[in-house]
Amino acid sequence: MIDRVAIILDLAARSRHGITLTEFARELAAPVSSIQGLVNGLAATGYLEERDRRYLLGPAPFLLTRLAGRLPVTTVSHEDLASIYEETGMTAVLAIVVGSDVYYVDYASSDLRYAYLAEGFVRRSLIRTSAGWVLLAGMERRDLWAQLGALPPDDAALVGLFLGELPRIQRDGLAVAPGVSAEADGVSVAVIEDGKTVAAVGIMGDPSEVDQRKEELIAVLSRRRVQWARRGPGPFPRPARGEQPET
């Protein structure tokens, strides 16, 4: 049931015009009668909002975030990513883990591929990105084993590579050009708040360029990490996602 609720909320959040009960049922591969009660309950408690028999995300999730009084990441701003982009000329991303996936929640880049991933909240595999490796390394052992155990069999070789690098990533807080993506490579650093890894900042680009410049990129992220640690968690206003520096 929890999985179904999560999928319903995710579908509603991604829709601009609302989702019908029939569309929910199709996505969940379930009869309408079995999910109608869930949808009605979510609408009654403000998690969904009904308009002309179509459902959008309601105000309750936003209220919970305000009640908690924090964003998922408060020590890294969009200006930080823009500054990294300006310094290196390479894409900078801020990544968090939700469930079993990585999401780029902010970025600075002129590369439309990353604009699509971040602005569309496209899921990325934890085991196929340097940011994912950093986020996995920051998990409690029980959660880490659960995440790795849920990966498809095709990822078994990548799991082996990751476990070989795990002690070093946990020691240094860095994942350096793991070579696990067919599209790009990167160097990523853990963002630590209140003693926990809450996000990863990555510098992404062509695998050959990342390999040639990896020592430089490590130095850039290591320096920034010290700045973020000194800043400490707290309210940190940030501009609209995807605002780009002038080039």
Q: Do 105 and 171 belong together in one domain? A: yes
- For residue 60, the domain's CATH number is 1.10.10.10
**In whole angstroms, what is the distance from residue 58 CA to residue 8 CA?**
12
Q: Are 241 and 78 in contact (CB under 8 A)?
A: yes
Specify whether 61 is located in the same domain as 91.
no
Distance, in Å, from the CA atom of 134 to the CA atom of 229, rounded to the nearest integer, reads 17
Are 43 and 143 within one domain? no
Residue type, 41: G
Average pLDDT, the chain: 87
132, 162: one domain: yes
Are 108 and 58 in a shared domain? Answer: no
Say if CB 186 and CB 117 are below 8 A apart.
no
Answer whether 221's CB lies under 8 Å from 174's CB.
Answer: yes
Q: How confident is the model at residue 108 (pLDDT cuts 50, 70, 90)?
A: very high
What's the domain range around 28? Answer: 2-65
> In this structure, is residue 87 part of a structural domain?
yes
Residue 15, in any domain of the structure: yes
Q: What is the pLDDT of residue 211?
A: 92
pLDDT-derived band at 80, boundaries 50, 70, 90: very high
Whether residue 7 has pLDDT greater than 50:
yes
The predicted pLDDT at position 237 comes to 40
Q: What is the pLDDT of residues 160-190, one digit of tens each?
A: 999 999 999 999 999 998 888 877 899 999 9
Instruction: Indicate whether 52 and 155 sit together in one domain.
Output: no
Residue 163 included in any domain: yes
Assess if residue 112 is contained within a domain. Answer: yes
Burial class (CB in 10 A: 0-12, 13-18, 19+), 91: buried
Please state the φ and ψ torsions of residue 120, each to the nearest 5 degrees: -95, 0
Residue 237 lies in a domain: no
What's the gap between Cα 195 and its chain centre? Answer: 19
Mean pLDDT value of segment 91-106: 88
- The residue with tokens 């160097």 is 187
The letter for the amino acid at 116 is Y
Same domain, yes or no, for 29 and 82? Answer: no
Residue 122 maps to which CATH number? 3.30.450.40
Would you state the pLDDT for residue 243? 45
Instruction: Specify if 242 maps to a domain.
Output: no
How many structural domains is the chain composed of?
2
Q: How confident is the model at residue 68 (pLDDT cuts 50, 70, 90)?
A: low
Residue 189 contacts residue 201 (beta carbons within 8 Å) = yes
Q: Which residues pair with 205 in a beta bridge?
A: 185
- In terms of domains, do 200 and 138 share one? yes
Q: Tell me, yes or no, whether 194 and 133 share the same domain.
A: yes
Residues 6+ positions from 153 with CB-CB distance below 8 Å = none
Within-domain flag for 16:
yes
Alpha-carbon separation of residue 149 from 51, 131, 145, 153, 168 (angstroms): 40, 19, 6, 9, 21
User: Rounded to 5 degrees, what angle do the CA atoms 66, 139, 79 make?
Assistant: 50
| Residues pairing with 124 in the sheet | 102
Does the pTM of the predicted model rise above 0.85?
Answer: no
